[in-house]
Amino acid sequence: MIVGGLIGRDAALERVASLRREFTETAAELDRTGTFPTLNLKRLYDEGLSEILVPKFLGGSASDSGTTADLDILSEIITEIGAGESSTAQIWGVHTVVSRLIFSNLLDVPRDVKEKLAYEVLNEGARFSNSSAEGGKRRRAFETSAVRRGDAFVVNGVKLFNTGSEGAKYTIAPVISDDIDGGGLVYVLIPMSASGVISHNDWDNMGQRGTASGTLTFNDVIVPECFHFSINGGPEAFSGPSSIFGLFFQTAINASILGIGFGAFESMCEHVRQWARPNLSTIDRAVEDPLNQWHAGRLSSQLAGARALQREASLQIWDVERASGRRPDASVQMMRAKFAINEAVLEACGQLHRLAGGRATSNKYRLDRFWRNARTLTVHDSIDVKLQQIGAFELEGTHPVPSMIS
């Protein structure tokens, strides 16, 4: 971690902009090998970017102790990382979301546990993974269990899409606990080094190849009672009319996708400047070609518009938590941002080779990674459902259903 005091919001953006350029240099090779971006994550820690994830009362630099504090900056950080190397952005996004889940008041985490974990994040580079998804046909239909055994819990189950599990010190998992009358949802924090944690290393998808988002099996994993967290306010905290965690989670995903679009656009411009030939025989240089200029202007405007919607959504979500905004408005704004981001990014990635030219199709550049990465993330949840909810809000004033995706 950087020595010499906590970094502020402006300094965080300056440092991540520099890291974006650094990460771009190795992005194609990471995609080719599917290697986990260990060095990139270390650089984020070394530059002090963990600090803004932790509230001040625990030694960090977040503006307040809320779940969504500084969400506008957190979003920009993830976007900048994603423009450089998108697996790193997704992993850091998960770490960001889980950090705030633990350090805010959503979960009943004892103060001494928060202090221990904050120290590890700030001073040892500890990182969190997330183990939520299971193989059922419905979201958040969990079967992984935590059964009390003395002063600890025994966790058994299988979790899919465990992004960032490689190299993480902990993963957090929603489970069904027998410590709640009739069985109920709680979260458990599981040390990745614990006996019975089995990583299948089976992540072999077309995009986001370095995220280590494969399967984890928990086979009689012993979790101490201090790492067994009930939900303050019960499940309504995640799906009730005032819930904001789903909006926060979606904003982090949106930011990763948006970064891919800017990375694709930057690569396209570089190839047009250096190697592409003009479309018109009357033009000497590709950068002077009015067709290339028209397309570059169109893609630039679409990405800038999407970024503006993302920034506004981030601020509105933070306002909801500070009781100065309305959740339905923030939800609709987040979904508008998601649609605009998906459209702009997929278009930028899809048009890259059209403008960059035939030489850009060489596998040494691996420019197809942008589309593969974007498409992998954009199918995380249905954009059609979001458009329907936006339309119902506009036509009938119907509020979006609070959930982890809206």
Task: Read off the pLDDT of residues 32-90 as tens digits, 9 standing for 90 and up.
Answer: 999 999 999 999 999 999 999 999 999 999 999 999 999 999 999 999 999 999 999 99
Kindly tell me if the per-residue pLDDT of 140 is higher than 90: no
Helix 38-46, helix 9-33: angle, nearest 10: 170
User: In the chain, what are the domains?
Assistant: 9-127 (1.10.540.10), 145-233 (2.40.110.10), 237-396 (1.20.140.10)
Tell me which amino acid residue 360 is. Answer: A
For residues 141 and 77, the answer to whether their CB atoms sit within 8 Å is no
pTM of this prediction? 0.97
pLDDT attached to residue 135: 86
pLDDT digits (tens, 9 = 90+) for 312-357: 999 999 999 999 999 999 999 999 999 999 999 999 999 999 999 9
366: left (phi over 0), alpha (psi -120 to 50) or beta: left
Kindly tell me if the per-residue pLDDT of 182 is higher than 70: no
Kindly tell me if the per-residue pLDDT of 3 is higher than 60: no
Residue 1: pLDDT band (50, 70, 90) is very low
For residues 160 and 193, the answer to whether their CB atoms sit within 8 Å is no
**CA angle (99 as vertex; 97, 105 as ends), nearest 5:** 95
Distance of CA 165 to the CA centre of its chain: 14
For residues 146 and 228, the answer to whether their CB atoms sit within 8 Å is yes
Least Cα distance to 50 among 106, 129, 131, 124 occurs for 124
